[in-house]
């Protein structure tokens, strides 16, 4: 999609419009089924899946996270602890002719990825380090030092805002509690800007930046305080939280087994992997959970089911 506003002069017949990625199909990392799934809608229209053999990948395809560049190419964070083939960011142009391009690798399982579509950078992380490279994998940088008195590790998710700041869900210090941390990757070799007060001693927190909001999928597996939480993107203070945990086999509107990861984040609606009693994909239009839909058919997302 592109938008241009111009003051046309008499006789002028050309308007230049810069086109950018506007929305995507619903593309879901189906980790324990070793595949990436694409659907047109929450009814499963156009369902198609790719795996290692269908894209000619010599390793084990275990998608843990996915993002897109500004022309719609798909970048997969591969997370499989077996061989050097498996520690890769992999690019797939599309699902129609899904040949692959290995982009960059790390020293262990890659857990999350975000593409800075404004600056043409890829940021990705494994359990202990954040990396940055160009879209073709060149200029790989792995010397970020965000510690500054706070040890950051076990990176679970990562997002980037319009100003180039990073937001990550990771554990902070020896407590092992997950927090949301705002980082400046362009200041020296990295600087911590803010650390959230909200914390989680379970393993799953996801963060996205959408409509200039900092949105957290929060799974608390011990006290069952599952929620979607809005944070102030400047201070990381909690603004409000929505939703509730349930153990029912057929969750109702705004009820979650265990929020895991947002997908199709450019689209108008929210699409969220929800996992616990089963493996569930849910969608909703707003934080009143209007237009609530579920798709629970054959997924085996992460580490619960």
The two beta strands, 244-245 and 255-256, are parallel
Q: What percent of the chain has pLDDT over 70?
A: 96
pLDDT attached to residue 305: 41
Q: Which residues are CB-contacts of 20 (< 8 A; sequence separation ≥ 6)?
A: 1, 2, 70, 117
pLDDT tens per residue across span 230-283: 999 999 999 999 999 999 999 999 999 999 999 999 999 999 999 999 999 999
110 near 88, Cβ under 8 Å? Answer: yes
Tokens 């937001």, residue? Answer: 167
Nearest to 156 by CA among 182, 121, 127: 127
Mean predicted confidence (pLDDT) in 27-31: 96
Q: Which residue would you say has higher pLDDT here, 47 or 106? A: 47
pLDDT tens per residue across span 51-103: 999 988 888 899 999 999 999 999 999 987 666 556 789 999 999 887 889 89
Which tokens go with 82? 């077996």
Which tokens go with 91? 């690019």
Mean predicted lDDT score pLDDT of the chain: 91
Q: Indicate whether 46 pLDDT > 50.
A: yes
pTM value is 0.93
Nearest to 64 by CA among 40, 83, 89: 89
pLDDT tens per residue across span 151-209: 898 999 999 999 999 999 999 887 778 899 999 999 988 999 999 998 877 668 999 99
Which tokens go with 236? 């990381």
């Amino acid at each position: 999609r592109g938008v241009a506003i111009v003051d046309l002069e008499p006789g002028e017949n050309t308007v230049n419009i810069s086109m950018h990625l506007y929305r995507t199909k619903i593309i879901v990392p189906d980790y324990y089924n070793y595949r990436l799934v694409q659907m047109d809608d929450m009814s499963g229209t156009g369902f198609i899946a790719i795996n290692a053999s269908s894209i000619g990948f010599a390793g084990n395809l275990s998608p843990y996270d996915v993002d897109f560049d500004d022309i719609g190419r798909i970048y997969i964070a591969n997370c499989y602890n077996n061989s050097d083939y498996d520690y890769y960011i992999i690019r797939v142009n599309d699902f129609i002719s899904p040949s692959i391009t290995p982009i960059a690798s790390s020293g262990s399982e890659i857990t999350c990825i975000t593409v800075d579509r404004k600056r043409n950078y890829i940021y990705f992380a494994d359990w202990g380090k954040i990396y940055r490279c160009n879209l073709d994998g060149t200029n790989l940088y792995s010397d970020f030092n965000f510690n500054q008195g706070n040890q950051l590790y076990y990176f679970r998710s990562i997002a980037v805002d319009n100003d180039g700041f990073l937001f990550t869900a990771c554990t902070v210090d020896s407590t092992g509690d997950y927090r949301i941390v705002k980082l400046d990757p362009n200041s020296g070799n990295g600087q911590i800007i803010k650390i959230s007060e909200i914390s989680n001693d379970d393993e799953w927190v996801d963060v996205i930046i959408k409509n200039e909001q900092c949105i957290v999928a929060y799974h608390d597996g011990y006290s069952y305080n599952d929620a979607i939480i809005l944070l102030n993107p400047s201070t990381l203070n909690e603004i409000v939280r929505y939703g509730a945990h349930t153990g029912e086999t057929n969750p109702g509107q705004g009820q979650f087994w265990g929020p895991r990861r947002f997908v199709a984040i450019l689209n108008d609606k929210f699409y969220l992997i929800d996992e616990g009693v089963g493996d569930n994909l849910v969608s909703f239009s707003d934080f009143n959970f209007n237009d609530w839909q579920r798709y629970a058919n054959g997924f085996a997302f992460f580490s619960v089911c």
